[in-house]
């Protein structure tokens, strides 16, 4: 096949055949074509898009570039939950044990955070002793014993996606709907789950900035799932403000602990219960209202909390030993009024600058760094009251002013938007 002809075909908006996409991807993985040539191909896709059939072709080729996990030996319904990432998103830490406590299996392969979005792996790594790298046999045994396990992404799954994603990130071709869809779905399908629930964040603190593009991405992923006879459900959730009270790795683990002890942020509770109910409803083939009653019962009875501790302990973690040593800086409000907005992007940038985030996967991070929000959307605040606390080991210039400026405080109270925007099946 002729590489230049394939690239030219896509540049001219002509549809590509399976064999053409397969040839380009596999040649790149095997180093038969270089970054410069592959960049031209990626930009041709970025600028001209892919049809749903072409997106399926790309997904399938990336799945076949690596290992596919078989979870049939579990003899249970298996549900995977994926999040596109957001500020303060600790949903995996909460929903995994809730759903496992209901008897549904939850296998999770999670990634590290890059840029301003925190990764589940980093949060779990802030727990002393937690083992993220399990063998396939250990992973299956953990799922059989506990019902949920969260490990770092296997290097053997969707090998092509890892290489292509790194290149997309390097050349700035990340925000392409077909490329995002094939990247997410290749990993999810290769991971072996029957049902895939995707929490697609939308807003200033998320990758997808508007509902229109998020809806298009959701529909694309649902369609790809149909090719593999997988049930894919996408929930669009609001990420214009941080999720929960704590942003930062160890701090978010602490918030998950608080959650299971009955102390929780209203929006975090609403989304956690909804995603858990969606997972259970889909797996057990029961109504959402019945699934929600079960979720609330599991929380109130303590079964979900017990499952949380069982899961962490089973993977070697000591929840009493968090890597949370940091200094504290209390920030107070300089005016009175109602909190009508909390700038997710500004908060996440501050947390990143404090050392909680990384640019490259090999960068070291400060697990203790982060912020705690003392005031929430819609709450009244008086001049001199505590807005929040900054946890730091590396001081950032004007960090108190940056933190305070993230809060938009007005005399009149505005209506608070619902966290769940819509669900696409």
Residue 418 belongs to a domain: no
pLDDT in tens, the chain (425 residues): 899 999 999 999 999 999 999 999 999 999 999 999 999 999 999 999 999 999 999 999 999 999 999 998 998 899 999 988 888 999 999 999 999 999 999 999 887 655 556 689 899 999 999 999 999 899 999 999 999 999 987 788 999 998 998 899 889 888 899 999 999 999 999 999 889 999 999 988 787 889 999 999 999 999 999 999 999 999 999 998 999 999 999 999 999 999 999 999 999 999 999 999 999 999 999 999 999 999 999 999 999 999 999 999 999 999 999 999 999 999 999 999 999 999 998 999 999 999 998 776 677 899 999 999 999 999 999 999 999 999 999 999 999 999 999 999 999 999 988 999 999 99
CB 100 within 8 A of CB 76: no
On whether both 227 and 78 belong to a single domain, the answer is yes
**CA separation for the pair 99, 406 (Å, rounded):** 34
Asked if residue 420 is part of any domain, the answer here is no
Count of residues in the chain? 425
Indicate if 250 and 362 belong to the same structural domain: no
Q: For residue 120, what is the enclosing H or E element?
A: helix 120-125
Q: What is the CATH number of the domain that holds 106?
A: 3.40.1030.10
43 and 78 housed in the same domain = no
Are 87 and 153 in the same domain?
yes
β partners of residue 199: 83, 235
**Active centre residues (catalytic):** 82, 161, 168, 183, 187
Tell me whether residue 80 is exposed, middle or buried, using C-beta atoms within 10 angstroms of its C-beta: 0 to 12, 13 to 18, 19 or more.
Answer: buried
For 87, phi then psi, to 5°, come to -80, 115
Same domain (yes/no): 202, 233:
yes
**Residue 299, both tokens:** 């929380």
Domain boundary among 284, 314, 344: 314
In a domain, 292, yes or no: yes
Residue 352 sits in the same domain as residue 205: no
Q: Which residue, 288, 314, 340, sits at the end of a domain?
A: 314
Does 199 share its domain with 234? yes
Q: SS3 of 315, please?
A: coil
89 is in which domain, residue-wise?
A: 72-314
- Is 405 inside a domain boundary? yes
Please state whether the predicted TM-score (pTM) of the whole model is above 0.95.
no
Contact, 404 vs 343, CB < 8 A?
Answer: no
DSSP secondary structure of 175-222: --HHHHHHHHHHHHHHTT-SEEEEEEEESTTSSB-SHHHHHHHHHHHH
Does the residue 59 lie in any domain? no
Q: Are residues 156 and 296 in the same domain?
A: yes
How many domains in the chain?
3
Question: Quick one: 90 and 15 in the same domain?
Answer: no
How far is residue 87 from each of residues 73, 118, 245, 346, 348, measured CA to CA in Å?
36, 7, 10, 10, 6
Q: Do 197 and 89 sit in the same domain of this protein?
A: yes
11/158 same-domain check? no
Phi then psi for residue 17, to 5 deg, are -85, 160
Residues 366 and 294 in one domain: no
């Amino acid at each position: 096949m002729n590489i230049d002809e394939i690239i030219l075909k896509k540049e001219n908006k002509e549809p590509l055949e399976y064999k053409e996409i397969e040839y380009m991807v596999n040649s790149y993985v095997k180093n038969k074509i270089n970054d410069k040539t592959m960049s031209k191909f990626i930009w041709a896709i970025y600028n001209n898009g892919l049809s749903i059939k072409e997106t399926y072709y790309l997904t399938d080729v990336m799945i076949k570039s690596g290992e596919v996990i078989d979870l049939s030996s579990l003899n249970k319904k298996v549900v995977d939950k994926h999040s596109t990432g957001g500020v303060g998103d600790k949903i995996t830490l909460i929903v995994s044990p809730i759903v496992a406590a209901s008897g549904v299996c939850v296998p999770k392969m999670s990634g590290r955070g890059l840029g301003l979005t925190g990764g589940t792996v980093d949060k779990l790594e802030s727990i002393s002793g937690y083992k993220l790298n399990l063998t396939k046999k250990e992973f299956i045994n953990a799922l059989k014993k506990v019902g949920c396990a969260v490990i770092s992404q296997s290097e053997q799954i969707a090998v092509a996606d890892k290489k292509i994603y790194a290149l997309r990130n390097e050349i700035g071709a990340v925000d392409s709907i077909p490329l995002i869809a094939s990247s997410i779905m290749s990993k999810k399908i290769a991971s072996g789950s029957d049902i895939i629930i995707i929490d697609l964040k939308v807003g200033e603190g998320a990758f997808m900035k508007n509902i229109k593009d998020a809806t298009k991405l959701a529909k694309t992923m649902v369609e790809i799932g149909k090719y593999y006879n997988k049930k894919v459900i996408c929930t669009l959730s609001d990420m214009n403000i941080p999720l929960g009270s704590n942003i930062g790795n160890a701090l978010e683990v602490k918030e998950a602990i608080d959650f299971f002890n009955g102390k929780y942020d209203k929006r975090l509770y609403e989304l956690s219960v909804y995603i858990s109910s969606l997972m259970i409803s889909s797996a057990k083939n029961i109504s959402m209202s019945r699934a929600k009653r079960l979720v609330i019962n599991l929380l109130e009875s303590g079964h979900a909390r017990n499952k949380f501790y069982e899961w962490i302990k089973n993977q070697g973690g000591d929840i009493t030993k968090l890597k949370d040593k940091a200094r504290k800086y209390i920030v107070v409000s300089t005016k009175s009024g109602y909190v009508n907005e909390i700038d997710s992007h500004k908060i996440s940038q501050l947390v990143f600058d404090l050392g909680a985030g990384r640019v490259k996967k090999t960068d070291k991070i400060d697990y203790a760094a982060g912020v705690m929000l003392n005031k929430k959307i819609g709450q009244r605040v008086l001049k001199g009251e505590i807005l929040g606390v900054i946890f730091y080991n590396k001081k950032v210039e004007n960090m108190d002013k940056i933190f305070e400026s993230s809060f938009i405080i007005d005399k009149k109270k505005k209506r608070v938007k619902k966290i769940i925007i819509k669900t696409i099946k």
